[in-house]
């Protein structure tokens, strides 16, 4: 296979039983990891994928980047032991200003965040297990709706808080709600090396590292569909889903 292989980046949010588009049941989540392993894939962090690219000139064929947005406590309670059982690593994107809040406290700050968030000690436990910690801003706003100064504070302050409290270099970022425009992308580039969108696609080998495409695993709950993705197919299905999501976003 040539060096043009795309990078498969998978994303989850909460690992729990709640009926929600951001939730994955623990049992189904473990089955997805089993399926990854059965197809010969390892689970790695975003930083590790780009380290390998820098070293070899290509993304790994036999590994998928496993990412978790928002930093819910269920990532530590459910995802960490499940990944550890396979020897997998991953990247968690933390909303720095909300770390340690209960679901009610988080909801009071942002109605879209309605679950308990992991605390600093739990974030440290992820680092100890070999995970990468990335930034998801301070308060999880739509960055396209902020003025330049507020946008930069969300980006720079989150990085500073995470690096100070966790004593680790923060290189990766995920755009809240996946929303970005050229100004947001330019602002992110001043603080981070890599940034993830929610565009439903494999990330091209020559793609913009500040616009990394990901596969939301909510859409991969059918094992046959996920198997097709892991076998390198599903491009037409992904294209149709992207188009439908774009139409819904425009409607709102």
Please write the tens of the pLDDT for every residue from 79-128.
Answer: 999 999 999 999 999 999 999 999 999 999 999 999 999 999 999 999 99
Question: Which of 12, 51, 50 lies closest to 174 in space, CA to CA?
Answer: 12
Question: What does the pLDDT read at residue 3?
Answer: 47
Q: Calculate mean pLDDT across residues 178-204.
A: 97
Q: What is the mean pLDDT of the chain?
A: 95
Question: What does the pLDDT read at residue 153?
Answer: 98
Question: Which of 174, 252, 245 lies closest to 213 in space, CA to CA?
Answer: 174
Furthest CA-CA distance within the chain? 50
Structure confidence by residue, pLDDT tens digits, 16-51: 999 999 999 999 999 999 999 999 999 999 999 999
> What is the CATH code of the structural domain delimited by 9-251?
3.20.20.370
- CB-based contact 233:242 (threshold 8 Å): no
57: left (phi over 0), alpha (psi -120 to 50) or beta: left
113: left (phi over 0), alpha (psi -120 to 50) or beta: beta
Structure confidence by residue, pLDDT tens digits, 208-224: 999 999 999 999 999 99
Question: What does the pLDDT read at residue 182?
Answer: 98
Find the helix or strand (DSSP H, E) in which 15 lies.
strand 14-15
Structure confidence by residue, pLDDT tens digits, 232-246: 999 999 999 999 877
For the chain, what percent of residues have pLDDT higher than 70?
97
Residue 40 CA to residue 32 CA, distance in Å, equals: 13
Q: Calculate mean pLDDT across residues 187-214.
A: 97
């Amino acid at each position: 296979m040539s060096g043009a292989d795309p990078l498969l980046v998978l994303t989850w949010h909460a690992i729990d039983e709640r009926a929600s588009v951001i939730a994955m049941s623990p049992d189904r989540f473990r089955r997805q990891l089993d399926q990854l392993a059965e197809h010969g894939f390892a689970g790695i962090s975003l930083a590790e994928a780009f380290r390998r690219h820098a070293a070899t000139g290509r993304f790994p064929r036999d590994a998928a980047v496993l990412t978790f947005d928002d930093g819910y406590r269920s990532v530590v309670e459910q995802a960490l032991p499940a990944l550890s059982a396979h020897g997998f690593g991953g990247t968690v994107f933390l909303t720095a200003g909300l770390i340690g809040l209960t679901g009610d406290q988080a909801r009071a700050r942002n109605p879209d965040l309605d679950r308990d968030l992991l605390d600093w000690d739990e974030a440290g436990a992820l680092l100890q297990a070999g995970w990468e910690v990335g930034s998801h801003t301070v308060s999880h706003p739509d960055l396209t709706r902020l003025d330049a100064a507020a946008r930069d504070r969300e980006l720079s302050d989150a990085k500073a808080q995470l690096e100070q409290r966790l004593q680790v270099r923060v290189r990766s970022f995920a755009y809240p709600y996946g929303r970005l425009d050229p100004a947001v992308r330019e602002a992110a580039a001043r603080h981070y090396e890599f940034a993830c969108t929610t565009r439903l696609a494999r990330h091209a080998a020559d793609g913009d590292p500040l616009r990394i495409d990901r596969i939301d695993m909510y859409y991969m709950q059918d094992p046959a569909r996920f198997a097709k993705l892991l076998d390198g197919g599903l491009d037409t299905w992904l294209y149709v889903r992207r188009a439908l999501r774009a139409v819904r976003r425009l409607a709102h």
